Amino acid sequence: MIMKGKKGLIVGLANDKSIAYGIAKACKEQGAELAFTYLNEALERRVRPIAESFGSKGVYELDVSCEEHMSSIAEHIRRDYGEIDFLVHSVAYAPKEALTNAFLKTTQEAFDIALRTSVFSLIDLTNRLEGVLAPNASILTLSYLGGVRYIPNYNVMGVAKAALESTVRYMAVELGAKGQRVNAISAGPIKTLASAGIGDFKAILNWNEVNAPMRKNVTIDEVGNSAMYLLSDLASGVSGEIHYVDAGYNIMGLAAVEKDEKGKSVYRFNNN
């Protein structure tokens, strides 16, 4: 199995509909040993049964904004695993008003929270885990097309994802000198707990399905398989990349077109 003997930490799993779950599942199926974190007591009730189903002994409370949690995570890993071969960072958050109000109405507080939680947490977590990351460790985070293009209602999260993708490149250079890799997956829209906070998300799903070259939306399993590749030794020569898993939607400049019965081009705006 591709990941046999590998140990990794999954940060940000919320439930079995999460992209992080798809990644964990793919890695586990290929032989990886996994540790998980949960944000708070409410999410622990969802995460712990998942961890147990994967045979995981490490399940840790981790709010990336809590110094107590961040300062102890490396020691937890060292105690239970010695070191880890990969890290999955699936953490993003912006206050609700920053996603529902106009982008220009974003407050400084909301901006700071979004960037600190969604971007700086990757830098901070990597630094905290430095002593337990294997010499050839692979780090993976999750982005979205809203970081490079305008997506309705994505607002400050788009700015955060742009910063996250830049962070991947800068981290890849510095960690590459040590033999470690950093990449991101930019997944297509998927119905998850996190996406529930984005207005008109159903319309985004529909648009992507209709206009993506493959005429579909991707699943957490498809994202998981791509993530497993990037985390494994199969991708030992890949770092600093933003890998799109979105049925090809990112290549589109306009809505897809088809020919009608008269041979005239017709734009595909919906599938009704």
With CA atoms as reference, report the closest residue to 241 among 154, 123, 138, 150. Answer: 138
What are the contacts of 41-45 at 24+ separation with CB within 8 A?
A: 43/14
- The b/e string for 196-224 (b: 16+ C-beta within 10 A; e otherwise) is ebbeebeebbbbbbbbbeeeebbebebbb
What percentage of the chain's residues is helix, strand, coil (to nearest 5)? Answer: 45, 20, 35
Distance between CA atoms of residues 159 and 108, nearest Å: 13
201's CB contacts (< 8 A; 6+ apart) are 153, 189, 191, 195
- Strands 257-259 and 265-267 come out as antiparallel
Active-site residues, by number, are: 144, 154
Tokens coding 11: 């940060």
Distance between CA atoms of residues 108 and 104, nearest Å: 11
Distance between CA atoms of residues 42 and 141, nearest Å: 24
Distance between CA atoms of residues 13 and 49, nearest Å: 12
